[in-house]
DNA sequence: GCCAACGTTGGC
DNA sequence: GCCAACGTTGGC
């Protein structure tokens, strides 16, 4: 069992959207490291923290789980999509995404400002590689963040 | 393979 | 809207 944190812009797709539709193919990731995590490492049942970025109060808002292994991201083949990639070919897809299933919305979200101040979270990828949109967290980090949500 | 230019992310 | 950090691209 692995633990992950996945960022999303709530203006595009939020924890409330996930709650409503239950399961979502995670499309639009255009970073190789994030893609590799999804394509090569994620397994069904892995725990996911849902993080809202580029919004009024960035932070962790919910819990989800990996519900399906990575599939080719359909948006890469759609010329009308902002995630279209002219260099991607169907027989050799460049971008992949897992499916994510809603688990719960945190009663009390954990803002970035709180994560930043927490001594146990200083080594999180959020701070060592802040631009990564999908990253691994340790079990200790995962549990610490949920403890902060209480 | 180096590295400058450029684009994107994302907090503030 | 600004800007720092960082990833990608492409010329050489």
How many whole angstroms separate alpha carbon A119 and alpha carbon A15?
A: 27
Strands (E) located in A2-144: 3-8, 23-25, 47-52, 59-72, 96-111, 134-137
Helix (H, G, I), strand (E, B) or coil at A121: helix
How many whole angstroms separate alpha carbon A92 and alpha carbon A112?
A: 37
A125-CA/B4-C1' distance, Å = 27
Write down all domains in chain A, each with its CATH number in brackets: 3-145 (3.10.590.10)
A72-CA/B1-C1' distance, Å = 31
pTM of the model: 0.94
Mark A86-95 as b/e (b = at least 16 C-beta within 10 Å).
Answer: eebeeeebeb
Average pLDDT value for chain A: 95
Give tens-digit pLDDT for A24-78. Answer: 999 999 999 999 999 999 999 999 999 999 999 999 999 999 999 999 999 999 8
A33-CA/B6-C1' distance, Å = 20
Q: Are A114 and A59 in contact (CB under 8 A)?
A: yes
What tokens does A124 get?
Answer: 């999180």
Q: Judge if the beta carbon of A116 is closer than 7 A to nucleic acid strand C.
A: no
């Amino acid at each position: 069992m692995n633990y992950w944190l996945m960022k999303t812009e709530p203006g595009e797709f939020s924890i409330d959207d996930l709650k409503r539709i239950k399961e979502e193919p995670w499309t639009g990731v255009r970073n190789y490291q994030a893609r590799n995590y999804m394509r090569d490492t994620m397994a069904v049942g892995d725990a996911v923290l849902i993080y809202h970025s580029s919004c009024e109060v960035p932070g962790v808002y919910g819990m989800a789980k990996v519900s399906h292994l990575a599939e080719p991201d359909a948006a890469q083949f759609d010329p009308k999509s902002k995630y279209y990639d002219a260099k991607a070919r169907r027989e050799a897809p460049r971008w992949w995404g897992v499916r994510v299933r809603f688990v719960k919305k945190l009663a009390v979200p954990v803002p970035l400002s709180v994560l930043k101040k927490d001594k146990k979270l200083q080594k999180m990828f959020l701070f060592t590689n802040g631009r990564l949109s999908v990253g691994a967290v340790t079990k200790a980090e995962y549990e610490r963040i949920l403890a902060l949500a209480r």
